[in-house]
Amino acid sequence: MKKKERSASEKRDRLLGIVTASPAAILLCVFTVYPVIYLIYRSLFSGSLISTKKEFVGIDNYKEILFDETFHKVLMNTIIYTVLFVGLTMVLAIIIAVWLNGSRQKKLNNMVEACIFTPHVISMVSVSIVFLWLMEPDTGFFNMVLTSLGLDKFPFLSSPSTAMISLVLVMVWKSVGYYVLLVMAALQTVPVSIYEAAELDNTPKIRTFFKITLPMISPTILFTCVVASIASFRIFDAVNVMTQGGPVDSTNTLVYYIYAYAFRYGNPGVACAAGVVLLVLVCIMTYVQFGVSRNKVHYQ
């Protein structure tokens, strides 16, 4: 009798679980699982975006990008961009967050926080347009300042050798505030008494940072690294507005390549194949980041 009762309540619980989880599950299927499956499916076909005619081509689209030198360059650009962006952003975010966290000048702190966070809430297109103007080689503000100081003009976005770093700097400027906030939140969870114990142990400041602070906030650092890496693999709007992948493909990145194939060259099959490559790369990168950091990250 008891067994029957329990199984009835178990059934009710299971039903409740299904009912409450289903809206999220349905949304996930419609907007994530289905598009991924369709992406993979569509990467096996040729045909334009507007025509209903599709032809099964197997892995031809993959072959095309595999032998496309532009794709190689794009892949390399994306990796370079990601490494530079994530590296610079994280180092800056940690330095600024540690400084803000240690500073006792509340008013100054609030002002700095507001200043570095503001770019994060401005639209990427607006930021791109403003920086296009600031970095304009002849009449831009930056070069005006450089020449007024008696220095040489810097080509910024107009030269293949400096375009990528210019793009990275703009993106770091825009995003660093967000990561500073995340790191600061993590820093504030470190109990003051641990720092006091370190002080009593006569620990030099640098050693305190590397041996105590950094390990204590390592879960947040890993999280921000993963999020920043994924975001930088998907960089598109800044490239589209500021450089259109140029000059000479020096800032052409994976998502811009996908966009160009799908909407400029009218070849969604190849775009989808590149999309699948992006998906796989992001998965591998995230997996590697978690794997490499497994022994370095301290979860409490």
Partner 1 sequence: MGTIQLKNVKKQFDKDVVIENLNLDIEDGSFTVLVGPSGCGKSTTLRMITGLDDPTEGDIYIDGQKVNDVTPGKRDIAMVFQNYALYPTMTVRQNIAFGLENKKVPKEERDRRVKEICEIVGLTEYLDRKPSKLSGGQRQRVALARAMVKQPKVFLMDEPLSNLDAKLRAQMRVELIELHKKLGTTFVYVTHDQTEAMSMADTIVLMKDGYIVQQSSPRELYNNPNSVYAAQFIGTPQMNVLRDALPDGKMLGFRPEKLSFREMEAPHITLRVQVATKEMLGSEIIYSLNSKYGTLMAKTDYEIGGGAEADIYVPFSSMYLFGQDEKRIELDDTAREQIKSVFAE
Identify the residue among 17, 35, 204, 266 touching partner 1 (CB under 8 A).
Answer: 204
Using CB under 8 A as the binding rule, the residues of this chain from 173 to 192 that contact partner 1 are: 191
**How many Cα atoms occupy the beta-carbon half-sphere of 206 within 13 Å?**
0
Helix axes 160-187, 69-102, angle to 10 degrees: 40
Q: What is the 3-state secondary structure (H, E, C) of 288-300?
A: HHHHHHCCCCCCC
Q: What is the DSSP letter of 247?
A: S
205 in contact with partner 1 (CB under 8 A): no
Query: Nearest 5 degrees, angle CA 33-CA 268-CA 28?
Result: 10
Helix %, strand %, coil % for the chain, to 5? Answer: 75, 0, 25
**Cα–Cα nearest to 113, from 92, 96, 126:** 96
The residue among 52 and 193 lying less far from partner 1, judged by its C-beta, is 193
The C-alpha atoms of residue 93 and residue 70 are separated, in whole angstroms, by: 33
202 in contact with partner 1 (CB under 8 A): yes
The stretch near partner 1 (CB under 8 A) out of 26-34, 138-146, 175-183, 202-210 is 202-210
Amino acid at 268: P
The stretch near partner 1 (CB under 8 A) out of 70-78, 100-108, 207-215, 250-258 is 207-215
CB of 196 to partner 1, least distance (A): 5
| Burial call 228-250: b when 16+ CB within 10 Å, e when fewer | bbbbbbbbeebbbbbbebebebb
Q: Containing H/E element for 237?
A: helix 237-242
The residue among 158 and 218 lying less far from partner 1, judged by its C-beta, is 218
Identify the residue among 49, 59, 197, 248 touching partner 1 (CB under 8 A).
Answer: 197
CB of 199 to partner 1, least distance (A): 5
Identify the residue among 70, 101, 159, 203 touching partner 1 (CB under 8 A).
Answer: 203
CB of 203 to partner 1, least distance (A): 5
The stretch near partner 1 (CB under 8 A) out of 126-134, 170-178, 208-216, 266-274 is 208-216
Q: How many CB atoms sit inside 10 A of residue 7's CB?
A: 10
Q: Containing H/E element for 98?
A: helix 69-102
Number of residues that bind partner 1 (CB under 8 A): 20
CB of 187 to partner 1, least distance (A): 14
102 in contact with partner 1 (CB under 8 A): no
The residue among 52 and 300 lying less far from partner 1, judged by its C-beta, is 300
Instruction: Give the residue carrying structure tokens 């532009």.
Output: 70
10 in contact with partner 1 (CB under 8 A): no
CB of 86 to partner 1, least distance (A): 23
206 in contact with partner 1 (CB under 8 A): no
CB of 206 to partner 1, least distance (A): 12
Binding site for partner 1 (CB under 8 A): 191, 193-194, 196-204, 207, 211-212, 215-216, 218, 298, 300
